[in-house]
Amino acid sequence: MTTKITQRRGAQMLQKAAGFVRALASLALTVAITLIGLVALTFIIGHVVPIDPVLTVIGDKAPQEVYDRVYQEMGLDRPMIIQFLSYLGEVLRGNLGNSMVSGRSIGSDILRFFPATFELAILGIIIGVGLGIPAGIIAAVKRDTWVDHIVRIVALIGYSVPIFWLALMALLVFYARLEWVGGPGQIDIGYAYSFSRVTGFILIDTALSGSWDVFVNAISHIALPALLIGYYSMAYISRMTRSVMLEQLNSEYVLAARLKGASEYSIVVHHALRNAAIPLVTIVALSFGGLLEGSVLIETVFSWPGLGNYIAQSLLGGDINAVLGGTLVVGTIFVFLNVASDLVYKVLDPRTRALT
Amino acid sequence: MSAALQHPSPRQARLRAARSFARRFRRNPLGMAGLFIGLALIFMAIFAPLLATHDPYAPDFAARLTAPGWNYWLGTDELGRDIYTRILYGSRITIFIVALVVFTSAPIGLLLGVVSGYFGGWVDAVLMRITDVFLAVPKLLLALAFVAVLGPGIVNAALAITLTAWPPYARLARAETLAVRNADFVAAIALAGASPWRIITRHIFPICYSSMLVRVTFDMAGIILIAAGLGFIGLGAQPPLPEWGAMIASGRRFIFEQWWVAAMPGAAIFIVSLGFNFLGDALRDLLDPHAKVRQ
């Protein structure tokens, strides 16, 4: 009798495991197709460019035979599909090509600029989650009171304000007028050589230098862009949290808990929030991707040496390769964030687990 | 009268629905504010020459970088042009870009989404994978990449934004279509001999309209912000056009001394996009069937 049960249980678990593997495989396939599609998109964008890539290499004064030779060397005489496959192969090996302006490898350029963006995004998401989720919960619980209205309006303002303009105004007020924070850039010029760039994260590097002044100076520079990015993500997170929580609070199981006599605190924290946590994971993951986007404009305003600034500068320099490389990297991060949040969703939500 | 109450004609019913909608909309102060801002923007764009106090393009070096005051309400820029006048004319560019993007991306997304949802199978698989790819890149970044190859300019900026703006509409329209594809009324129309094209355009499109309208209204705010961002980076409208984002970019150099050059056009962007968000919020509360369930 007991052996039968264990056998059945074993078979069930095996079935479950097989289902999980199958779900993982189909997820991996979807991701692979999306990523190849992404490479295809950048390839297509790169090939409708009206700029002749041969001319950027040899200049427009080279004789015809040189032109023809370079044209062949660059593989431009091959069919489009072959060109695409070789491009795909290069990208898979991590080679994003070389900058059309500086000739440097785009991959290593991006690696060099990425930590600065990542650091800002991490700080931004900490601020966004730390303020946005509590604000959203309170707004949902106190629905249609003045607290709710304030949270909603603060969020709507964050949605509506041009972030680069807000950044300029913040610089004007807090840097130029009040002198509370440092200006554009990561650190005062006087401190620029007083620490070594080990990790690329300015706060860690300056902390490692052991000099308190340098560290404080770095904080005074990162505070404003981090707060702005944090506000931007808080607007999104608080709004989404509010609507997810409202949905939970109006559902029948909450009514049941109320009838049972559960305290308001217990209903919010133990029932509604636990269920809201699952969609919140996706929301936070998506907002992290949004921060990478917002960084293009924020970094431009703050002369922040990150990926966004790199892309903006490449755009102005007409360096299409670098722009597409950056787009590809951010797009890939986006896709993986989505996958990660999907997986977390599956692990957290018993219902989706049962379905697979 | 009582007979009409019991069996209202379609026209009466529609009229009544519109009236009740207007009544509920009027009770939403933020929605009314948004509507007012939207109408004010259109009014500004139409009557810009009458409302203007100066010439939007003619430089006046004697008056360059004048602070806001009696003569120049919002101050002047580095070429002595009146900022208030330029913002007025800039509203035309804003409306032009928003209209161009909305009237292209929403129909494209609607068509692709409905076709995808109605036919299913490999059509759905292919179209949705393409949609996924476009959704995988942040909007602003993708628009930047498109503008980089298309070249700067208002029309190219609008085109680039369109290419990034259609996927959410496609997703939305597909979801709405899936919900009704197997409904009895669709089967009945198909049995009556209607072609798929007729079913899609006459019967499924109208179902998508209200959720599309809500999405479009929210999107308008996003479009304005992306267009301004493109202008700010220098890839949208080119000088001397009074595009608001480009005006902020040119005022950036004077931000610490002559703050009004950058502050004023940014405030205009902010107010208009806030207005559309207010409007979108109000419309969603009234039109979105999912939101209604929640109340």
User: What CATH number did the domain enclosing A159 receive?
Assistant: 1.10.3720.10
Tell me which residue in B140, B146, B273 faces A293 most closely, judged by beta carbons: B140
Q: Is residue A100 part of a domain?
A: no
pLDDT at B283 over 90: no
Residue of A nearest to B254 (CA): A172
- What is the predicted pLDDT for the residue at A128? 94
A237-281 per-position pLDDT tens digit: 999 999 999 988 888 888 888 888 888 888 888 888 888 888 888
Instruction: Please tell me the distance from the alpha carbon of residue A248 to that of residue A254, in angstroms, as a whole number.
Output: 7
Last residue of a domain, one of A92, A122, A146: A92
Domain B80-294 indexed as CATH 1.10.3720.10 = yes
| Selected residue of B126, B135, B149 to mutate for chain A interface (largest A Cβ count, 10 A) | B149
Q: A113 is in which domain, residue-wise?
A: 107-355
Instruction: Please tell me the distance from the alpha carbon of residue A127 to that of residue A121, in angstroms, as a whole number.
Output: 10
Q: Are B32 and B24 in contact (CB under 8 A)?
A: no
Cα angle, residue B17 at apex, residues B16 and B18 outer, rounded to 5°? 90
Cross-chain Cβ contact B134/A250 below 8 Å: no
Chain A residues whose CB is inside 8 A of the B157 CB are none
Q: Is residue A102 part of a domain?
A: no
Q: Are A308 and A141 in contact (CB under 8 A)?
A: no
Q: Is residue A15 part of a domain?
A: yes
- What is the predicted pLDDT for the residue at B106? 94
Q: What are phi and psi of B55, to 5 degrees?
A: -90, 130
Q: Helices marked H in chain B — which ranges? A: 2-6, 10-26, 29-46, 48-51, 83-119, 121-136, 139-150, 154-181, 184-191, 196-198, 205-233, 244-251, 260-287, 289-294
- What is the predicted pLDDT for the residue at B113? 93
What number is the ipTM of this complex?
A: 0.88
How many structural domains is chain A composed of?
2
Tell me which residue in B133, B144, B228 faces A37 most closely, judged by beta carbons: B133
Could you write out the DSSP letters of every residue in A121-163?
HHHHHHHHHHHHHHHHHHHHHTTTSHHHHHHHHHHHHHHHS-H
Cross-chain Cβ contact A289/B232 below 8 Å: no
| Selected residue of A160, A173, A178, A239 to mutate for chain B interface (largest B Cβ count, 10 A) | A160
Chain B residues whose CB is inside 8 A of the A250 CB are 294-295
- What is the predicted pLDDT for the residue at B271? 96
- What is the predicted pLDDT for the residue at B292? 47
Q: Is residue A97 part of a domain?
A: no
Q: Are A309 and A300 in contact (CB under 8 A)?
A: yes
- What is the predicted pLDDT for the residue at A355? 46
Chain B residues whose CB is inside 8 A of the A160 CB are 221, 225, 270, 273-274, 276-277
Over residues A210-223, the mean pLDDT reads: 86
Q: What are phi and psi of B194, to 5 degrees?
A: -75, 140
For A16, A50, A123, the CA distances from A6, given in Å and listed in that order, are: 15, 68, 49
**Cβ-Cβ contacts under 8 Å for A241 (sequence gap 6 or more):** A132, A133, A135, A136, A137, A140, A276, A280, A283
Look at A32-36, A59-63, A168-172 and tell me which has the smallest mean pLDDT: A59-63
Count the neighbouring beta carbons within 10 Å of the beta carbon of residue B282.
Answer: 23
Instruction: Please tell me the distance from the alpha carbon of residue A132 to that of residue A242, in angstroms, as a whole number.
Output: 9
Asked if A88 and A111 sit in the same domain, the reply is no
Over residues A166-180, the mean pLDDT reads: 92
Distance between B193 CA and the closest CA of chain A, angstroms: 37
Over residues B242-250, the mean pLDDT reads: 93
Residue of A nearest to B292 (CA): A247
Last residue of a domain, one of A92, A123, A143: A92
pLDDT at A70 over 90: no
Q: Is residue A304 part of a domain?
A: yes
Q: Are B73 and B84 in contact (CB under 8 A)?
A: yes
Look at A25-29, A44-48, B144-148, B262-266 and tell me which has the smallest mean pLDDT: A44-48
Tell me which residue in A161, A169, A334 faces B138 most closely, judged by beta carbons: A334
CA nearest neighbour of A229 among A279, A288, A181, A152: A288
Last residue of a domain, one of A40, A69, A92: A92
pLDDT band, very low/low/confident/very high, at B97 (cuts 50, 70, 90): very high
A326-346 per-position pLDDT tens digit: 889 988 888 888 888 878 877
Residue of A nearest to B148 (CA): A315
pLDDT band, very low/low/confident/very high, at A53 (cuts 50, 70, 90): low
Q: Are A125 and A340 in contact (CB under 8 A)?
A: no
- What is the predicted pLDDT for the residue at B66? 85
**Cβ-Cβ contacts under 8 Å for B233 (sequence gap 6 or more):** A296, A297, A300, A312, A315, A316, B144, B249
| Selected residue of A49, A151, A168, A242 to mutate for chain B interface (largest B Cβ count, 10 A) | A168
- What is the predicted pLDDT for the residue at B289? 57
Asked if A34 and A144 sit in the same domain, the reply is no
Instruction: Please tell me the distance from the alpha carbon of residue A323 to that of residue A310, in angstroms, as a whole number.
Output: 8
Instruction: Please tell me the distance from the alpha carbon of residue A90 to that of residue A1, in angstroms, as a whole number.
Output: 59
- What is the predicted pLDDT for the residue at B1? 46
Could you write out the DSSP letters of every residue in A221-278?
HHHHHHHHHHHHHHHHHHHHHHHHHHHHHTSHHHHHHHHHT--HHHIIIIIIHHHHHH
Cross-chain Cβ contact B233/A169 below 8 Å: no
Range among B51-55, B109-113, B190-194, B199-203 with highest mean pLDDT value: B109-113
The DSSP call for residue B4 is H
Q: Supply the mean pLDDT for chain B.
A: 88
Asked if A42 and A191 sit in the same domain, the reply is no
Asked if A166 and A198 sit in the same domain, the reply is yes
Instruction: Please tell me the distance from the alpha carbon of residue A317 to that of residue B189, in angstroms, as a whole number.
Output: 57
- What is the predicted pLDDT for the residue at A229? 93
Distance between B93 CA and the closest CA of chain A, angstroms: 17
Give the 3-state secondary structure of residue A328.
helix
Tell me which residue in A156, A246, A300 faces B277 most closely, judged by beta carbons: A156
- Token pair 């009237």 is found at B103
- What are the structure tokens assigned to B105, written together? 């991306």
Chain B residues whose CB is inside 8 A of the A316 CB are 233-234
- What is the predicted pLDDT for the residue at A286? 80
Asked if A32 and A178 sit in the same domain, the reply is no
- What is the predicted pLDDT for the residue at B165? 92
Cross-chain Cβ contact A37/B130 below 8 Å: yes
Chain B residues whose CB is inside 8 A of the A169 CB are 259, 263, 266
Asked if A202 and A313 sit in the same domain, the reply is yes
Chain B residues whose CB is inside 8 A of the A320 CB are 148-149
Listed by start position, the domains of chain B span: 80-294
Over residues A217-225, the mean pLDDT reads: 90
Residue of B nearest to A30 (CA): B129
Cross-chain Cβ contact A49/B149 below 8 Å: yes
The helix or strand, by DSSP H or E, that contains position B79, with its residue range, turns out to be none
| Selected residue of A101, A165, A236 to mutate for chain B interface (largest B Cβ count, 10 A) | A165
Q: Are A315 and B144 in contact (CB under 8 A)?
A: yes
Tell me which residue in A33, A157, A163 faces B274 most closely, judged by beta carbons: A157
Asked if A210 and A73 sit in the same domain, the reply is no
- What is the predicted pLDDT for the residue at A342? 79
Distance between B1 CA and the closest CA of chain A, angstroms: 39
Distance between B293 CA and the closest CA of chain A, angstroms: 9
Q: Supply the mean pLDDT for chain A.
A: 84
Could you write out the DSSP letters of every residue in B114-169?
HHHHHH-HHHHHHHHHHHHHHHHS-HHHHHHHHHHHH-SSHHHHHHHHHHHHHHHH
Chain A residues whose CB is inside 8 A of the B233 CB are 296-297, 300, 312, 315-316
- What is the predicted pLDDT for the residue at A20? 76
Asked if A62 and A140 sit in the same domain, the reply is no
Chain B residues whose CB is inside 8 A of the A30 CB are 132
Find the length of chain B: 295
pLDDT at B182 over 90: no
Residue of B nearest to A293 (CA): B138
Over residues B175-197, the mean pLDDT reads: 87
pLDDT at B47 over 90: yes
Asked if A86 and A115 sit in the same domain, the reply is no
- Token pair 């059509």 is found at B123
Chain B residues whose CB is inside 8 A of the A292 CB are 138
Instruction: Please tell me the distance from the alpha carbon of residue B69 to that of residue B88, in angstroms, as a whole number.
Output: 17
pLDDT band, very low/low/confident/very high, at A356 (cuts 50, 70, 90): very low
Asked if A187 and A48 sit in the same domain, the reply is no
pLDDT band, very low/low/confident/very high, at B180 (cuts 50, 70, 90): confident
Helix pair angle (A307-316, A106-141), 10° resolution: 120
Chain A residues whose CB is inside 8 A of the B166 CB are none
Judge if pTM exceeds 0.80.
yes
Asked if A47 and A141 sit in the same domain, the reply is no
pLDDT band, very low/low/confident/very high, at B294 (cuts 50, 70, 90): very low
Asked if A206 and A297 sit in the same domain, the reply is yes
Amino acid (1-letter code) at residue A23: A
